[in-house]
Amino acid sequence: MVTTSNERIDDLDFAPFAPEVLDDPYTAYAQLRERTPCYYVKKHDFWIVSRFDDLVAASKNHAVFSSTGGVGLEWKQRPMMPMYDPPEHSRLRRLVGRHFAPKAIANLTPRVERMVGHLLGRMFETSRADIVADLAEPLSLGVIADLMGVPESDRANFRKWADNVMGELSGGLNAEAAARAEASRHEFVSYLKELVGHRRRHPDPQAVDIISMLVAANESEALTHFEVTAFCVLLLVAGFEPTVNGVANTVLALLEHPDQARKLLADPRLLPAGIEEALRYDTPVQAFFRNTLTATEISGVALPARAKVMLHFGAANRDPRHYEEPDRFMVTRPMDENVVFGAGVHYCLGAPLARLQLNTLGRVALQRVRSVRRAGEIERASTLLFRGIRRFPVEVLAK
């Protein structure tokens, strides 16, 4: 039997932009998961898929659940790889994918280790620091800027550009904020066009930054000037926010579960599983949207054509149908399948880069940090699509 989503749950009024939901969403997610496979948010005209198996099936069915039309709440098509479907998506991913393969990313390990050591050293000097401002943000921005070959003198604006691009993608902005986000995006694109143009006019055969390698590709592998610029916007979007949120959410999970932190200290071999568990437990990228090309259904719920459908990774990663005790944080949990970085053809290209930074930070911290404790209230920075922390004061001491 096919039903519309809200026939059975008219008493559930889920308000996705409500501050209390953004601050602590997991109770609301459980209600969505248990009461319907696909919930229609009438006020904002979109559907939410929150169960693990349904989400994976939809993610792998790009012929129906398309990225064309934008992966945010607004119907905006941007010229970036995640907003294309095959075959165009396949072509772009093939041309840039080798630069983000696990083996290629592993070559960045010494550079990331140096950054982490430097940032921790500065935190030790005062003992009082902020996990986001003094560690997560400069680490993520530094890695991305290094990958792009952005000069040190030009990096100050990256935080502003990232914030505004993410805000526009999440939707729900008032007119003033939307205009500011759009202006910031144009400013970033203009900067990138100039940077890419300079690399084309002044090629350096010895350069190893991603822009130089992309513009120097042979004719059969070449990206256009426009495509290189669009990829750099994607690198900031996909590389910055998830890593910053992942670092902050992981530290918070460990501080709130000291028994699990002690297990990591006693056995550092648990670190990769512990990182994966932290990403599952409090997923940095909570959701992205797809757009139905035809009428379809999800587990008996009918969806019309041209519907906005939110694939909710954060909710699916707590689905008790897939995980035992999903609301428990356990660093010994087997590294099973999760949807932290999506699924299907749109699985996040930057996943190896994010994991490298998180695991390198964890490994160096286990060697050098004696203790970390909260030194004030944290301030959440969650939106419809992303879950992170804006302010996270701590006291940190070296071994």
Tokens found for residue 295:
């009428």
CA distance 293 to 69: 10
Residue 384: what pLDDT?
84
Task: Specify the pLDDT at position 100.
Answer: 83
pLDDT of residue 33: 92
Q: What is the pLDDT of residue 216?
A: 74
Question: Considering only 6-10, 49-53, 162-166, 203-207, which range has the smallest mean pLDDT?
Answer: 6-10
Is residue 167's pLDDT more than 80? no
Helix axes 158-170, 175-201, angle to 10 degrees: 130
Confidence of residue 160 (pLDDT cuts 50, 70, 90): confident
Q: Taking 50 as the threshold, does the pLDDT of residue 287 lie above it?
A: yes
Q: What's the chain's average pLDDT?
A: 87
Q: Which of 33-47, 97-111, 172-186, 282-296 is least confident?
A: 172-186
Nearest Cα to 71, choosing from 360, 365, 342, 394?
A: 342
Measured between alpha carbons, how far is 163 from 59 in angstroms, rounded to an integer? Answer: 26
Grouping H, G, I as helix, E, B as strand and the rest as coil, residue 337 is: coil
Q: Which residue has the tokens 């699509």?
A: 385
- Local confidence band at 204 (pLDDT 50, 70, 90 cut-offs): confident
What's residue 245's pLDDT?
94
- The encoded tokens of residue 30 equal 């459980």
Q: Give residue 79's pLDDT.
A: 65
Mean pLDDT of 334-353: 88
Alpha helices (H) in 149-174, listed in sequence order: 158-170
The average pLDDT across 289-297 equals 95
In this structure, what token pair is assigned to residue 397? 């001491």
CA 139/CA 353 separation, integer angstroms: 12
pLDDT tens-place string over residues 256-281: 999 999 999 999 999 999 999 999 99
Q: Is the pLDDT of residue 6 over 70?
A: no
pLDDT at 247 over 50: yes
pLDDT of 372 strictly over 80: yes
The pLDDT tens digits for 312-335 are 999 999 999 999 999 999 999 988
With 0-12 / 13-18 / 19 or more C-beta atoms within 10 angstroms meaning exposed / middle / buried, residue 9 is middle
Would you state the pLDDT for residue 196?
84
- Tell me what the mean pLDDT of segment 224-237 comes to: 78
Q: Give me the pLDDT at residue 272, please.
A: 96
Decide if pLDDT at 363 tops 70.
yes
Give dist(CA 31, CA 37) in Å, integer: 11
Of 319 and 200, more confident: 319
pLDDT at 172: 60
> With 90 as the cut, is the pLDDT of residue 382 above it?
no
Burial 13-40, CB ≥16 within 10 A → b, else e: ebebeeeebbeebeebbbbbbebbbbbb
Among 233-237, 238-242, 266-270, 339-343, name the one with the lowest average pLDDT: 233-237
Query: Count of alpha carbons within 13 Å of 314, Cβ hemisphere only?
Result: 30
Lowest-confidence pick of 102-106, 213-217, 328-332, 342-346 = 213-217
Residue 291, φ and ψ in degrees, nearest 5: -130, 120
> Half-sphere exposure of 228 toward its Cβ, with a 13 Å CA cutoff?
26
Does 7 have pLDDT greater than 60? no
Using the predicted structure, report yes or no on whether residue 9 has a pLDDT greater than 60. Answer: no
Which region among 33-47, 202-216, 249-263, 305-319 has the lowest average model confidence (pLDDT)? Answer: 202-216
Q: Does domain 5-398 have CATH number 1.10.1200.10?
A: no
Helix 351-368 to helix 109-126 angle, to the nearest 10 degrees? Answer: 50
Please give the torsion angle defined by the CA atoms of residues 104, 251, 246 and 61, in that order, rounded to the nearest 10 degrees.
110
Query: Which are the contacts of 385, defined by CB distance < 8 A and separation ≥ 6?
Result: 72, 166, 169, 170, 285, 286, 287, 288
Asked if the bond preceding 37 is cis, omega within 30° of 0, the reply is: no
Q: Quick one: angle between helices 225-256 and 137-148, nearest 10?
A: 160
Q: What is the pLDDT of residue 356?
A: 95
Q: How far apart are CA 66 and CA 296, in angstroms?
A: 12
The burial of 115, by beta-carbon neighbours within 10 Å (0-12 exposed, 13-18 middle, 19 or more buried), is given as buried
At 111 the pLDDT is 93
Q: Is pLDDT of 8 > 50?
A: no
